[in-house]
Structure 1
Amino acid sequence: MKTDIQVKDIFEIAKLGNLSPAELGYTFPAEFEAHLATWLSWPHKEASWPGKIHTIFPAYAEFIKQVAFGEEVHINVADEKMKQFAIGHLTDAGAKLENIFFHFFPTNDAWCRDHGPAFLVNKEASVKKVLVKWNYNAWGDKYPPYDLDNQIPVSIAEYRGIPCFRPGIVMEGGSVEFNGKGTLLTSEACLLNPNRNPHLSKDQIEEYLQGYYGVNNILWLKDGILGDDTDGHIDDLTRFVNEDTVVTMVEHDKKDENYAPLKENLNLLQNLRLENGKQMNIIELPMPGKLIFEDMRLPASYANFYISNHAVIVPTFRDKNDDRAIDILSSSFPDRKVIGIDSWDLIWGLGSFHCLSQQEPL
């Protein structure tokens, strides 16, 4: 761990790329560790919620309200008009506006988990926090343009005045999950998809994950759930609730298309090991029933919860398993309040609260 490097040197290292964050002693904290802030990009792209975008703002504002009870919320907006529109919805929701900050950083879309920065920390270094700007291509060039989204980490680095590392490959925040002790969970369906980094082998991708997230133990699951246009993001499948425990989605209906892939992932989890060689504690989380909109299966998953300082915010789907999922997660997070927020309209955009947010650690 290099803790004797001066501030100006770390900025120069980030610019030149001659050392990785891991080589400088930086690591990506688990989401359940303390946050300074949560970053969001205000939704505005009609095509992401065709004919329904006007319906998502009450739930989105309620989400922000809950997060802002315990930490700062920073929201990327295009202009003053969008800011005032957001303030109107947040005021209606009763949000704590003194904890909410707006930035005129325009975006193409709202999915800040994937286009936002990855913040890493090293409490022993002269610069305590850095960020990584991965390349972003809207999940394999599915939804161009994404040039504004791709700029967001740079804008945030400049705002925070911290070094910005640029690995130069495609990576999305929703594709990786951390226990904060050196283990990273991901899926082959996403990271090995040729629409991301076709020039890289699995071993080469692992080298980037180790170097730019500061991990030493990478665990691979297989396929994602039906309807997930991200090609199998881990944040719809399996999440760490503490350093040695995961919740993972399971489907009990053998006739459902999600039954087999989720069963395979569960079997893999039972055989994988943490960085210390121990087996994970595994808690099963039931899938909601099929959610169909205009003949399309939507990727509804309780795993797309967001862990804030104050609470765990869980998407609900007006389903018989909503209460069961909240009960399971309440037992998994004894130190936080678990709050369900209706995601019936949000999920038409093919994502929910975790996809929309990115944490910034202390």
Structure 2
Amino acid sequence: MPTAEPTPRAQGFAMPAEFAPHDACWMLWPQRPDTWRFGAKPAQQAFVEVATAIAESETVYVGVNDEQYENARHQLPPEVRVVELSSNDAWMRDVGPTFLTHPDGRLAMVDWEFNAWGGLDGGLYFPWDKDKRIRTKIAEMLGIPRFTAPVVLEGGALHVDGEGTLITTEECLLNPNRNPGLNREEMEQLLRDYLGVEKVIWLPRGCHLDETDGHVDNLCCFVAPGEVVLTWSDDEDDPQHAICREALAVLESTFDARGRELCVHKLPQPDPLYIEEDEASGLDRLDSSHPRRPGDRMAGSYVNFYIGNSVVVMPLLDPTCDEQAYAILQELFPDRRVVGVPAREILLGGGNIHCITQQQPRLGPSR
């Protein structure tokens, strides 16, 4: 009987924190007409602004379908590297690799199963065949090992502190439309084996009406070892109010893998944001894709930011809250410059800045 391949953890690999140094950031180019209105032109401009801001900090790769290659190359600044990398949509956090590093300086990746956030039971589009090949292609481009994980999981469903602690939500990872045959203990063991973590902190739910089934990266993330930022609502009439307090209760009653109590920083959520009539009318309507209707509430959150080497790129969503969120993030990241990017067009597609980016960690001295 063949011997199973040793897990990443058994081989010494682990996932570093997002706030650790990067070599690069990976993105994809939006063009899907049932996700992005008006032929994705407004979304493409938002993606250009995100890529431009991150490129101040590290190399940015943007994967593009062939038919949009010239357009993307003309729109993106010269320092951004445009590569042909076909996809079904543009959510690199979820369809791209989860990178791992080794103490000896090697880089590897985890190739999770992907079913478009639920497959035929609540998934957001069909098919997702091109998305499933992205991780394999990036592994080939970089010439690094690829560990195939026997579990459906998206990158936005997890955050790590780089010191053994992972945070996620029960709503997503224990959802029957992902891995109905796995219980919580089995899922925890897979996370330990493939990400090299020791402690898993389970928050009950993600943000209200998050169409990813509650990705943690829209609700809560690590900003330093022992420190997290949590989206927050004081409005008792808003369903998000109860979700935030459930999460806070867990965070304040647990310890990380090093035995530390967590310091929780509250980041106010924007006022409820809704799809407007003209925003919905610019979309193709397909039976195989998630409907986006006038009046639908969107899961807006300032926690959906990207931590680069020298910048933090945050979404600008609500003029009444943007400055407060900016000030809090700048205080949390005194050694980085916080850059706000108008991000409503990304939110209209169902996610935000963290969802469209994926960091590639910097390698060690043996590179």
The verdict on a shared fold, with TM-score over 0.5 as the criterion, is yes
Larger deviation: 116-125 or 150-159? Answer: 116-125
Match of 2:307 in 1: 307
Match of 1:10 in 2: none
Match of 1:89 in 2: 75
Q: Is the 8 A contact 1:64 1:73 kept in 2?
A: yes
Alignment of 1:249 onto 2:237: no
Give the C-alpha shift of residue 57 in structure 1.
Answer: 2.0
Give the C-alpha shift of residue 316 in structure 1.
Answer: 1.2
Match of 2:43 in 1: 56
Q: Which of 133, 139, 145 in structure 2 is aligned with 1:157? A: 139
Give the C-alpha shift of residue 148 in structure 1.
Answer: 0.5
Q: For the residues of structure 2 that align with 1:46 and 1:309, how far apart are their CA atoms?
A: 33
Match of 2:322 in 1: 322
Q: Is the 8 A contact 1:76 1:104 kept in 2?
A: yes
How many pairs were matched up?
A: 339
Q: For the residues of structure 1 that align with 2:82 and 2:20, how far apart are their CA atoms?
A: 24
Q: For the residues of structure 2 that align with 1:210 and 1:33, how far apart are their CA atoms?
A: 20
Superposition pairs for residues 103-252 of structure 1, below 5 Å? 103-124=83-104, 128-141=106-119, 142=123, 143-252=125-234
Give the C-alpha shift of residue 153 in structure 1.
Answer: 0.5
Q: For the residues of structure 2 that align with 1:319 and 1:189, how far apart are their CA atoms?
A: 30
Q: Aligned AA for 1:137?
A: N
Q: For the residues of structure 2 that align with 1:339 and 1:17, how far apart are their CA atoms?
A: 45
Q: Aligned AA for 1:115?
A: V
The C-alpha deviation readout for 1:61-115, integer Å capped at 9, x for no partner, is 1110111112111111111x4121112222xxxx3x23x2222220000000000
Match of 1:260 in 2: 242
The C-alpha deviation readout for 1:187-210, integer Å capped at 9, x for no partner, is 000000000000111111111100
Q: For the residues of structure 2 that align with 1:16 and 1:241, how far apart are their CA atoms?
A: 39
Q: For the residues of structure 2 that align with 1:261 and 1:310, how far apart are their CA atoms?
A: 32
Q: Is the 8 A contact 1:129 1:162 kept in 2?
A: yes
Q: Is the 8 A contact 2:30 2:36 kept in 1?
A: no
The C-alpha deviation readout for 1:315-341, integer Å capped at 9, x for no partner, is 111331111001000000011001111
Alignment of 1:27 onto 2:14: yes
SS at match of 2:62: strand
Unaligned 5+ residue runs, structure 2?
Answer: 276-293, 363-367
Match of 1:4 in 2: none
SS at match of 2:326: helix
SS at match of 2:189: helix
SS at match of 1:226: coil
Q: For the residues of structure 2 that align with 1:170 and 1:341, how far apart are their CA atoms?
A: 31
Q: For the residues of structure 2 that align with 1:209 and 1:300, how far apart are their CA atoms?
A: 27
Q: For the residues of structure 2 that align with 1:318 and 1:216, how far apart are their CA atoms?
A: 38
Q: For the residues of structure 2 that align with 1:338 and 1:329, how far apart are their CA atoms?
A: 7
* Stretches of 4+ aligned residues off by more than 3 angstroms: none
Q: Is the 8 A contact 2:31 2:39 kept in 1?
A: no
Q: Aligned AA for 1:33?
A: A
Q: For the residues of structure 2 that align with 1:217 and 1:277, how far apart are their CA atoms?
A: 10
- The alpha-carbon distance between structure 1 residues 341 and 187, as it changes in their structure 2 partners (threshold 3 A), is same
Larger deviation: 111-120 or 338-347? Answer: 338-347
Q: Which of 66, 69, 81 in structure 1 is aligned with 2:53? A: 66
CA RMSD of aligned residues (A): 1.4
Q: Is the 8 A contact 1:17 1:166 kept in 2?
A: no
Q: For the residues of structure 2 that align with 1:249 and 1:354, how far apart are their CA atoms?
A: 14
Give the C-alpha shift of residue 55 in structure 1.
Answer: 1.3
The C-alpha deviation readout for 1:257-278, integer Å capped at 9, x for no partner, is 1111111111111111111111
Match of 1:12 in 2: none
Q: Aligned AA for 1:192?
A: L
Q: Is the 8 A contact 1:227 1:350 kept in 2?
A: no
Q: Which has the higher helix share?
A: 1
Q: For the residues of structure 2 that align with 1:315 and 1:102, how far apart are their CA atoms?
A: 23
Unaligned 5+ residue runs, structure 1?
Answer: 1-14
Give the C-alpha shift of residue 44 in structure 1.
Answer: 1.1
Q: For the residues of structure 1 that align with 2:15 and 2:155, how far apart are their CA atoms?
A: 11
Q: Is the 8 A contact 1:227 1:296 kept in 2?
A: no
Match of 1:288 in 2: 270
Q: For the residues of structure 1 that align with 2:250 and 2:184, how far apart are their CA atoms?
A: 18
TM-score by length of 2: 0.90
Q: Aligned AA for 1:129?
A: L
Give the C-alpha shift of residue 123 in structure 1.
Answer: 2.6
Give the C-alpha shift of residue 52 in structure 1.
Answer: 6.7
Match of 1:332 in 2: 332
- The alpha-carbon distance between structure 1 residues 16 and 342, as it changes in their structure 2 partners (threshold 3 A), is farther
The C-alpha deviation readout for 1:295-323, integer Å capped at 9, x for no partner, is 10001000000011120000111331111
Give the C-alpha shift of residue 16 in structure 1.
Answer: 7.5
Give the C-alpha shift of residue 51 in structure 1.
Answer: 4.0
Q: For the residues of structure 2 that align with 1:303 and 1:276, how far apart are their CA atoms?
A: 24
